[in-house]
């Protein structure tokens, strides 16, 4: 048995002394491995982007739509259904979502433009514990109205009504030094506190001031302070609340309330950047939300008004149980947990508003339930159980369909790569058969001086493996160079579109490791028959042939 050190030296020397043979044998390996790693890296990156858009371990449970005449008689999703789902062994988490089920529209200012947009039908609520994308979001995304000990919730004078009851823009903050401070025992801003007077009930009999709690829907009347509001140079209303970037004066509770925290999905930002911004001459929104907000002057620049019970759609005839009113919201972050098209807020706000405007049933019926499974492979049995036991179903999952298509595409591309590498293995076999014929005297001499059949076989297979490894390494480098070129062309010549990635490739360690292993394996496979033929040569016959 030839020592490993001597065998290695001989293999390297034999490989390097015939560059033509090396190039002919390695060329196919280089091309095959380059396509192999490029295809795998591209599908891996697409899969990563897909999982961001559609978390494959999360499914959405909905009730099948059932209509009787003009009435929606679909099964009701409520807390009992949520608890039943949570008892399933494959379920990790079940979070209900609730849609805003009455008209509402928003009005805000962005880059000097007056934006009006429909909120009813494009807003839902979710438990704050479900939105965990960013620590900054966790801090702000909660039910602020439930905190009765918040020192900023002081009495205030709301903005005056307009003649046409139009939803106004979110009022500006007063200059520094004129903002209302938290009241002390001596009054406001060291001045005597204004004497509170009860709000006069409106003529239509609706509640004057309401701060309904999430359960009962009862209203708490807050005395309104008398006196003029804080005004600007031109007499315009200015936000009188402490921390005006976060608080506003609510016209119903007559207290400073924290703006409703809103999150939007990356899909909304991508749609804005890809279509809306360009067509309206607006700047591209930075995907880094903190940077985007900082560039525009802080969180206060993300505020907007929401007109509850009002709409921009003519002919809307939804019957509501409460007079229209204005609240304010603030965009606090971007979250994959938000509804794809629209806005998401803490579910407690949606429950209170649905209770006020539509009644008890609207406040206790969920639009869907987001279920996180412990194992994504358990989707099929869970879906069958839902259908058989609860008469519910999973919403058609685009993510699952895309994942299936991606798997098939990846399989086809990998098969193409393996076919290329297989052809290169045949090429290696052909070249090595030629080499064995040309080197028969050399191989015969090895046998004559004491090399065994296994030694000769190991020499030939070692040369094939070395060619495979070097060819594989060159193939990986070529693949990464091709990927870099595609990324450069994409960044400079391809227009923006939703979810356009910074790179189209993800070169995980197992991709280039698998590329090297395939290269060496197929090269050895191609060299096996020539090695076997070389090892079975009779020394005397090989030495006497010309």
**Tens digit of each residue's pLDDT (9 = 90 or more) over 384-436:** 898 899 988 888 666 566 667 777 887 888 888 788 878 877 877 777 777 77
Q: Does residue 22 contact residue 404 with C-beta atoms inside 8 Å?
A: no
320: pLDDT strictly greater than 70: yes
- Tell me whether strands 123-126 and 343-346 are parallel, antiparallel or unpaired: parallel
Half-sphere exposure of 303 (CA within 13 A, CB side): 23
Closest to 301 in 3D by CA, of 327, 331, 324: 331
Reported as a pLDDT band with limits 50, 70 and 90, residue 232 is low
Reported as a pLDDT band with limits 50, 70 and 90, residue 184 is very low
**Tens digit of each residue's pLDDT (9 = 90 or more) over 280-305:** 777 777 666 666 666 666 666 788 99
Q: Does residue 350 contact residue 329 with C-beta atoms inside 8 Å?
A: no
What are the residue ranges spanned by the domains of the chain?
4-54+400-544, 58-396
Q: Could you tell me which residues come within 8 angstroms of residue 42 by beta carbon, excluding any fewer than 6 positions away?
A: 483, 504, 505
Average pLDDT over residues 505-522: 88
**Tens digit of each residue's pLDDT (9 = 90 or more) over 442-499:** 767 777 777 777 877 888 888 888 888 888 899 999 999 999 999 999 888 887 766 7
Closest to 502 in 3D by CA, of 525, 483, 527: 483
Q: Could you tell me which residues come within 8 angstroms of residue 411 by beta carbon, excluding any fewer than 6 positions away?
A: none
**Tens digit of each residue's pLDDT (9 = 90 or more) over 83-116:** 999 999 999 999 999 999 999 989 988 777 788 8
**Tens digit of each residue's pLDDT (9 = 90 or more) over 41-83:** 888 888 777 777 666 678 889 988 776 666 666 788 999 999 9
Q: Which residues of 250-273 are buried (b: 16+ CB within 10 A; e: fewer)?
A: bbbbbbbbbbbbbbbbbbbbbbbb
């Amino acid at each position: 048995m030839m020592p490993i050190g001597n065998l290695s030296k001989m293999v390297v020397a034999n490989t390097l002394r015939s560059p033509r043979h090396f190039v002919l044998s390695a060329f196919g390996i280089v091309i095959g491995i380059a396509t192999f790693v490029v295809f795998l890296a591209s599908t891996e990156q697409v899969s990563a982007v897909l999982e961001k858009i559609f978390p494959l371990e999360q499914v959405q449970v909905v009730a099948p739509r059932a209509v009787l005449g003009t009435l929606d008689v679909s099964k009701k999703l409520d807390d009992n259904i949520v608890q039943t789902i949570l008892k399933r062994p494959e379920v990790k988490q079940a979070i209900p979502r609730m849609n805003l089920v009455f008209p509402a529209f928003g009005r805000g200012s962005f880059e000097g433009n007056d934006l009006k947009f429909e909120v009813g039908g494009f807003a839902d609520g979710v438990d704050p514990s479900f939105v965990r994308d960013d620590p900054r979001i966790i801090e702000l995304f909660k039910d602020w109205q439930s905190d009765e000990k918040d020192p900023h919730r002081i009495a205030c004078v709301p903005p005056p009504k307009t003649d046409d009851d139009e939803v106004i823009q979110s009022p500006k903050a007063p200059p520094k030094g004129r903002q209302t401070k938290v009241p002390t025992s001596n009054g406001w801003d060291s001045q005597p506190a204004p004497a509170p007077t009860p709000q006069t009930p409106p003529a239509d009999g609706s509640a004057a001031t309401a701060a309904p709690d999430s359960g009962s829907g009862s209203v708490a009347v807050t005395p309104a302070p008398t006196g003029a509001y804080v005004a600007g140079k031109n007499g315009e209303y200015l936000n009188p609340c402490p921390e005006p970037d976060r608080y506003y004066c609510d016209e119903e509770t007559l207290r400073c309330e924290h703006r409703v925290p809103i999150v939007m999905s990356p899909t909304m930002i991508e749609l804005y950047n890809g279509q809306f911004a360009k067509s309206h001459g607006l700047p591209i929104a930075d995907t880094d939300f903190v940077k985007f907000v900082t560039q525009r002057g802080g969180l206060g620049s993300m505020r907007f008004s929401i007109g509850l019970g009002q709409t921009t759609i003519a002919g809307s005839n939804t019957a509501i149980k409460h007079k229209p009113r204005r609240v304010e919201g603030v965009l606090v972050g971007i979250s994959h947990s938000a509804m794809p098209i629209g806005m998401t807020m803490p579910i407690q706000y949606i429950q209170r508003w649905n209770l006020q405007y539509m009644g008890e049933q609207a406040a206790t019926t969920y639009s869907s339930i987001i279920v996180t499974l412990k194992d994504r492979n358990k989707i099929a049995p869970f879906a069958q159980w839902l259908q058989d036991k609860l008469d519910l179903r999973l919403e058609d999952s685009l993510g699952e369909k895309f994942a299936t298509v991606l798997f098939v595409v990846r399989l086809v591309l990998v098969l193409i790569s393996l076919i290329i590498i297989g052809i290169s293995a045949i090429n290696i076999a052909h070249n090595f058969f030629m080499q064995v014929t040309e080197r028969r005297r050399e191989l015969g001499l090895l046998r004559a001086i004491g090399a065994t059949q296994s030694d000769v076989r190991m020499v030939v297979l070692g040369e094939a493996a070395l060619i495979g490894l070097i060819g594989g390494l060159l193939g990986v480098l070529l693949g990464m160079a091709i990927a870099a070129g595609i990324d450069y062309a994409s960044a400079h010549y391809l227009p923006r579109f939703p979810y356009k990635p910074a790179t189209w490739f993800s070169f995980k360690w197992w991709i280039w490791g698998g590329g090297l292993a395939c290269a060496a394996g197929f090269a050895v496979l191609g060299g096996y028959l020539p090695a076997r033929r070389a090892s079975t040569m009779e020394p005397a016959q090989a030495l006497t042939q010309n």
